[in-house]
Structures are given as C-alpha cells and as structure tokens.
Amino acid sequence: MWFESVNYAYVPTSTVNGRGANAVWVKCAWKSKERVTAMLLGDSDGNKTDPFLVFKTRPSKVAETARANLVFRHGFGRQLWDDLQHLEVGVQIYGNRAGWWNSELSIEFLCYHFGRRENMHEPVLLLWDDFSGHWRQDVLICARLLNVELMRVPPGYTYVCQPADVAWNRPLKEHLRKQWIQYF
C-alpha cells in the first residue's frame, strides 16, 4: 500500500485548438496547480484495488452541514458532490481541509477494502508506513475487528517494501490528468 501526493496542472501544456486558430481559450480556477493525495493498494500477486483520492476542500462553517457532508458526501458540499459522485467509478474520492490522509480515512480505507471480503476468518497482512494516522487506537481496533494484521514499515525503509510506487503512480497521474482535461 502506498500513498502519494500527486500534483496536476489546471492549465494543459498543449493546446486543444488546431493550427492557425486566432485565440486559444483555457478554463481555469485562477490557480496553475493543485495537489491530490492518492492511497494505492495492491496484493502480493500484483492485483491493484480501487485507489482512494483525497482533495483539499473547505468544510462548511455550519457544524450540522459539515457533519452531513462528511457522513454522506465524503467531506464535500452538496453541489460539488453532485459533480463528483458520478466520477467514483473504480476510485473512492474524499475531501478534507488539508487534502491529506488522516486516521478517519484509514478506517474508511480498511472497511472499504477488507470489510466485505469472503474469507473474513483468514487474517490479512497489511504493510503500512510510520504515518501517525495509521496507528491511532481507533484504527488498530478497526483493523483487529476486520482480521487485518498491521505491520509497521520502519521509517526510511518504505521504498524497500513498496516497489509498486513506480509502476502505479505514473499511470495514475496520466489518468488523472486526462480526466481533468476532459472535464474542462
């Protein structure tokens, strides 16, 4: 399992218009780049599972609305979720203030990937790095209930246990960029 910060540009580096066009219009949100955190998981046979993407989003100032957004819309507001939820095919999309992984997402991740497997009685070994959000008590309890044995990869040795990073990140980044350009 690997989580990675993926940077992508709002403005494409190539034009969409054909040669000779007088003007090229590009739609953007007054930013040139944005970041998304991607959590990738694969098994020992090389099979990849649905990635989790975490975007930066501002929570509602109304506590009740913020809670509803978190519970029902993965942290996004009602209008933004209407645009995003149809994109959740083969991927899980979440949002929070930092756009970064946390213990609540660790629990969502465990439940999504391990909570509905057929052989719940067989333990699963999951290698996780030393990120503090993976090792809070509530995450450890959830893992135990799902029969997932967590093993901590020592700091500085993550690269040894997660070689799939190179093989997975480039295709993911290319796919995200393609989707982004097609969206606009």
pLDDT (0 to 100) of residue 113:
95
User: Could you give the CA distance from residue 69 to residue 63 in angstroms, rounded to a whole number?
Assistant: 10
pLDDT tens, 68-121? 998 899 999 988 898 888 888 888 999 998 888 999 999 999 999 999 999 999
* 15, part of any domain: no
For the chain, what is the domain count?
A: 1
* 18, part of any domain: no
Of the candidates 163, 182, 176, 40, the residue with the CA atom closest to the CA atom of residue 113: 40
* 172, part of any domain: no
Question: Residue 124 corresponds to which tokens in the numbers above?
Answer: 């699963």
* 27, part of any domain: no
This prediction has a pTM of 0.75
pLDDT (0 to 100) of residue 3:
47
* 23, part of any domain: no
* 41, part of any domain: yes
**Mean pLDDT in residue range 152-158:** 82
pLDDT (0 to 100) of residue 23:
53
**Could you tell me the residue range of the domain that residue 116 belongs to?**
2-7+34-167
Alpha helices (H) along the chain? 63-72, 78-84, 103-114, 137-145, 158-161, 164-183
Is the pLDDT score of 184 beyond 60? Answer: no
* 173, part of any domain: no
Residue 38 pairs with which residues in a beta bridge? 4, 53
* 159, part of any domain: yes
Is the pLDDT score of 22 beyond 70? Answer: no
Question: What does DSSP say about strands 148-152 and 124-128: parallel, antiparallel, or unpaired?
Answer: parallel
